[in-house]
Amino acid sequence: MLFAHDTEVALQAAAALVNTASGSGTGTELLPDPAALDAFLDTWGFTGDRAGDAAELAAVHRLRARLGEMWDDESDAVVGTVNRLLRDGDAQPQLVRHGEWGWHIHATEPHAPLAHRMAVEAAMAVADLVRAEELDRLGRCEAEGCGAALVDLTKNRSRRFCDSSCANRTHAAAYRARRASSAG
């Protein structure tokens, strides 16, 4: 494990949120309604209050765009975004324990607006990357036509693709190209 478990999960959840946008490789909006947002939150184990309405969904969509910028910005801009997210979310870090999770940090109250909780959680995780000088662990899928956000948590920094389908597609194309060049 390179980072604390809650940091790794928060980074992966932030990347997954960024990848729900229609421009993130799929071409389809993956959070089209509050029910889809609810399913996303359940998948990633988000706790706390949920409004379950269109306003909350719109706030998460706005957050998603801000988080996506961190995958493409230089470190000084990322630090500025992290600081704004923490400030705007009224971050007040505290140790908590619930469910199957051991002690970890929550930086907002469970009744804070969902988008604030999600923003602060992502910002805290990215702050850990910045402090460890590991910001380059935020990357984009190298598969042609994809560009999805990814978090490289491998020890040797070898992750290049968002998932196995992009990796397989890229490797198969490279194999076909090698075969074609050797046949010609």
List domains and CATH numbers for the chain: 5-182 (1.10.3300.10)
Question: Phi/psi of residue 95, each to 5°?
Answer: -80, 135
Reading the block at residue 152, the tokens are 């490289």
Q: Check whether 1 has a pLDDT greater than 60.
A: no
Tell me: the pLDDT tens digits for 9-33? 999 999 999 999 976 666 789 999 9
pLDDT at residue 176, as a whole number: 85
CB 112 within 8 A of CB 88: no
- In DSSP notation, 73-124 reads S-HHHHHHHHHHHHHHTT---EEEEETTEEEEEE-S-TTS-HHHHHHHHHHH
pLDDT at residue 183, as a whole number: 77
Tell me: the pLDDT tens digits for 116-174? 999 999 999 999 999 999 999 999 999 998 989 999 999 988 999 998 889 888 888 88
